[in-house]
Structure 1
Amino acid sequence: MKLEVLEKDRYYHIYNRGINGNNIFENDANKHYFLKQLGKYSEDKISIFAYCLMNNHFHLVIRLNVEEKEVTQAFSNLFNSYAKAFNKQTQRTGSLFEKHFKRIMLKDENYLKQLIIYVHLNPKHHFDLDFKDFKFSSYQAFLSDKETKIERDEVLTLFGDLENFIFCHNQKNNLLNETYTFE
C-alpha cells in the first residue's frame, strides 16, 4: 500500500492499531502517557481537531502546520517513544504498531465534520459505550472551558456553534442506535 504524501495546511485522518490487532493501551495511564507524548512531539507541527484512543487503535484528525518531513519525524518519535515505554511496562519486545500509520487526506469541509463525529462516536462503534462519557476522546474538551490543545474554537465554528456540534453528534448517535435496534 502506497502511503499518501502529507501536505502542509491539509487535513488528515491519522490512525493505526496494534500489530495483529493487539492492544496498544492496557490502562488509562498508557492513554494519558500517549496523549502527553503526542503533545510533546507534535507541538506547533500539527493542529488537532479530534482524537479517540481505543484499547487496540487510535484516531487523530489533524492539520499539518509544517512540511511533511517534520511531521513524519514527529510521529515516528512519538510512536517509538510510546512503544519503548509500553514494552518496558508490559515486559514485551518487538513492534507495537502496524508498520506505518495510516493517513487519509480530507477532501472537503463536510468530510472533516463527518470524520470528527465518527472519531468521537468510536466508543459506540466498538464497545457500545456512551461516547459522551468516554474519557479518551476529545469530545468532552469541546464541552469544557478548560484549556486544551484541541482546536476547539475552529471546530465549533466549523459546526456553527456548540449547540449544533452537540446536535450533530447526537443525531449520528441516534442513527447508529436505530441501526442496532432489533424488534
Structure 2
Amino acid sequence: MRSHMKLEVLEKDYYYHIYNRGINGTTIFENDSNKLYFLKQLAKYTENKISIFAYCLMNNHFHLVIRLKAEEKEVTQGFSNLFNSYAKAFNKQINRTGSLFEKHFKRIKLKDENYLKQLIIYVHLNPKHHFDLDFKNFKFSSFQAYLSDKETRIERDETISLFGDLENFIFCHNQKNNLLNEIYTFE
C-alpha cells in the first residue's frame, strides 16, 4: 500500500507554493477563455483570504505562490469552491463528467525569502521549462503584471522590493532563463 503524504497545514501569514494538475494528466484548460475564467474564479473565491505573488496556468497544471491572509479553514474552503466551480463549468463546456483535478491540491510551505524569490522565478519560467515558450510574452503568468503599471491583484510592490527593484527582478529572471537555455543546448 502506498503511504499517503500528509498534507501540509496552511498557516496564516506564511508563504506557500500551491499547485495541482488535471487528474491523470488531463487537460484542465482547453483555451484562453478557460484560463481567464479560472483567474476570475480565483479572484472571487480567494479575495481577502490570500495574497498572490506569482501564478502560471499551463494546459494541464497550474502554480500559485501565495501568502495566507486568513485562517486555514477559510482558505481551503475558498480553494475548494474555486476548483469545484471551475470543474463544473469546464465539464459542462466540454461535455465531460467526474473529477477534473487530482484529489488534494499540493502545498509546500516556503522556508525563507530566498526560496520565495527562486519560486517566483520558477513559476514565471514554467512556459519555458515545459514548452520552450518565451516566458516574457506568455499571457497566463503573472510576469507581465510586474512590468505593467495597470491595476493588479498581484503583490507587485512587495515582490519587486524583495528583488531590490524592477531591474533586478527582470535580471534574475533572465539569468535563470539563460541557465535553462544552456542546459537545453546540452541535452
Give the TM bin, normalised by the shorter chain: over 0.9
2:145 counterpart of 1:141: yes
C-alpha deviations, 1:66-113, integer Å up to 9, x for none?
100000000000000000000000000000000000000000000000
Deviation of 1:37 after TM superposition, in Å, equals 0.2
- Which whole-Å CA distance do the structure 2 matches of 1:35 and 1:28 have between them? 11
- State the one-letter code of the partner of 1:32: L
Match of 2:49 in 1: 45
**What is the rounded CA distance, in whole Å, between the counterparts of 1:86 and 1:180 in structure 2?**
34
2:107 is aligned with 1:103: yes
Q: 1:57 aligns with which of 61, 67, 89?
A: 61
Aligned position for 1:132: 136
1:166 and 2:177 correspond: no
TM-score (norm 2): 0.97
The CA distance in 1 between the partners of 2:61 and 2:28, in whole Å, is 7
User: What is the SS of the residue equivalent to 2:40?
Assistant: helix
Letter in 2 for 1:58: F
- Tell me the CA shift for residue 178 of structure 1: 0.4
Percent identity of the aligned residues? 88
Q: Which SS does the other structure have where 1:4 is aligned?
A: coil
Structure 1 length as normaliser, TM-score? 0.99
* Alignment partner, residue 79 of structure 2: 75
Residue 157 of structure 1 is aligned with which of 130, 146, 161?
161
Indicate yes or no: 2:184 matched with 1:180: yes
Determine the C-alpha separation between the residues in 2 that align with 1:98 and 1:141: 28
Task: Give, as a single letter, the amino acid of the residue that structure 2 aligns with 1:160.
Answer: G
Q: Give 4+ residue runs of structure 1 displaced > 2 Å after superposition.
A: none
What residue in structure 1 maps to residue 70 of structure 2?
66
Cα RMSD between the aligned structures?
0.8
Q: Which residue of 2 aligns with 1:119?
A: 123
Quote the Cα distance in structure 2 between the aligned partners of 1:173 and 1:51.
17
Q: Distance in 2 between matches of 1:36 and 1:104?
A: 24
Tell me, in whole angstroms, the C-alpha distance in 2 between the residues paired with 1:66 and 1:78: 16
Q: Deviations over 1:46-80 (max 9, x none)?
A: 00000000000000000000100000000000000
Q: Distance in 2 between matches of 1:160 and 1:89?
A: 44
Match 1:85 to one of 85, 89, 94: 89
Measured after TM superposition, the shift of residue 182 of structure 1 is: 3.5
Quick one: distance in 2 between partners of 1:125 and 1:180? 9
Aligned residues: 183
**Cα shift at 1:25:** 0.2
